[in-house]
């Protein structure tokens, strides 16, 4: 009896085909986000010498991408371990859900921070041109945009480029903004795409946790029913044995009296 109950409780949890496909798809997408973050950071590390990329892809950005990729892959491994045995690994499921929430909040915060920071993009890049960017970066923009200075030749130009030879040369503000906007569009798309996948991973983890809890409650209820049934059968057997013993004793007593 005890063995039957133990098997009923500890048997592997069966998931429907649709749930397996959903979990597999979300897990693959979530793993892909981590791999993509590592791939992007690796690409920018290889092209780190490109001067103009430094206005967007700073060392902090590269380090953040690398850390995010490692975090997402490790979190995905936690989810895979949890999915392999949901009934026995409830804590793994809960940990996976919280890790996804943290990743989602961080990515959303980064997206909002970047959006707020670039609301006044003219002042931002104007300040960077005049105070932060090296001559290599400014020279690269002047060469590619055939411009001089930020607002014009009088606004912190880099001497030695052909575009600064004319007094009527226009500034590099439009060239800088166009270059930055292209990168920001890709960043926003990828970032909020990652957030969407995070939401899917979060929902799938929560659904799995609910299914796991319902399955556990059903199995314990079934085990208790089996236990009570066996107890009733055992009680009846003992009662029948007592009645048979009492009847046998009565028959013996009646025989002795004769």
Reported as a single tens digit per residue, the pLDDT across 65-77 is 888 889 999 999 9
Mean pLDDT of the chain: 77
**Nearest-angstrom CA–CA distance, 65 and 73:** 12
Give the pLDDT band of residue 51 (cuts 50, 70, 90).
Answer: low
The encoded tokens of residue 103 equal: 């990743």
Alpha carbon of 197 to those of 8, 23, 74, 194, 230: distances in Å?
A: 36, 12, 16, 5, 49
Indicate the length of the chain as a whole number: 258
Q: Kindly state the average pLDDT of the residues 220-231.
A: 71
Lowest-pLDDT choice from 24-33, 60-69, 70-79, 226-235: 226-235
Q: Kindly state the average pLDDT of the residues 198-224.
A: 85
Q: What are the phi and psi torsion angles at 146 (to 5°)?
A: 50, 50
Supply the DSSP symbol for 119.
Answer: T
The 3-state DSSP class for residue 161 equals: coil
pLDDT at 245 over 70: no
Give the pLDDT band of residue 102 (cuts 50, 70, 90).
Answer: very high
Q: Kindly state the average pLDDT of the residues 130-137.
A: 83
| Dihedral Cα 86, 70, 25, 19, nearest 10 deg | 10
Give the pLDDT band of residue 200 (cuts 50, 70, 90).
Answer: very high
The per-residue pLDDT for 236 is 53
User: How many CA atoms within 13 Å lie on the side-chain side of 172?
Assistant: 32
Instruction: Pick the most confident of 93-102, 175-184, 186-195, 231-240.
Output: 93-102
The 3-state DSSP class for residue 27 equals: helix
Q: Which residue has the higher pLDDT, 101 or 179?
A: 101
Please name the residue that has the structure tokens 């606004």: 155
Among residues of the chain, what percentage have pLDDT more than 70?
76
- Phi/psi region, residue 168 (left: phi>0; alpha: psi -120 to 50; beta: rest), is alpha
Alpha carbon of 203 to those of 35, 97, 128: distances in Å?
A: 21, 9, 41
The per-residue pLDDT for 243 is 44
Ordered alpha helix ranges (H), 90-172: 90-117, 121-131, 135-145
The per-residue pLDDT for 247 is 46
The encoded tokens of residue 203 equal: 């929902």
- pTM of the full predicted structure? 0.72
Contact present, 84 and 42 (Cβ < 8 Å) = no
Q: Which of 96, 32, 56 is nearest to 182 (CA)?
A: 56
Q: What are the phi and psi torsion angles at 81 (to 5°)?
A: -60, -40
Kindly write down the DSSP assignment for every residue of 201-216, as one continuous string: HHHHHHHHHHHHHHHH
The per-residue pLDDT for 254 is 37
pLDDT at 160 over 50: yes
Please name the residue that has the structure tokens 């480029």: 161
């Amino acid at each position: 009896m005890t063995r039957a109950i133990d098997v009923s409780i500890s048997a592997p949890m069966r998931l429907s085909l649709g749930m397996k496909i959903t979990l597999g798809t979300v897990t693959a997408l979530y793993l892909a986000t981590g791999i993509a973050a590592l791939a992007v950071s690796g690409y920018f590390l290889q092209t780190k010498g490109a001067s103009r990329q430094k206005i967007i892809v700073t060392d902090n950005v590269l380090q953040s991408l690398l850390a995010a990729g490692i975090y997402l892959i490790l979190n995905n491994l936690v989810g895979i371990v949890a999915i392999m045995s949901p009934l026995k690994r409830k804590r793994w499921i809960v940990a996976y859900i919280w890790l996804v929430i943290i990743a989602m909040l961080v990515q959303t915060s980064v997206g909002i921070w970047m959006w707020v920071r670039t609301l006044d993009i003219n002042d931002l890049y104007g300040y960077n041109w005049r105070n932060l960017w090296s001559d290599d970066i400014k020279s690269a923009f002047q060469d590619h945009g055939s411009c001089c200075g930020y607002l014009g030749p009088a606004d912190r130009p880099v001497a030695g480029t052909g575009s600064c030879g004319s007094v009527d040369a226009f500034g590099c503000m439009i060239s800088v903004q166009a270059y930055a906007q292209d990168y920001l569009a890709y960043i926003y798309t990828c970032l909020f795409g990652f957030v969407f996948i995070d939401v899917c991973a979060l929902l799938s983890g929560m659904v799995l946790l609910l299914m796991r809890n319902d399955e556990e409650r059903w199995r314990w209820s079934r085990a208790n029913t089996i236990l009570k049934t066996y107890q009733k059968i055992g009680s009846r057997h003992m009662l029948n044995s007592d009645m048979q013993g009492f009847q046998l004793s009565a028959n013996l007593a009646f025989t002795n009296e004769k």
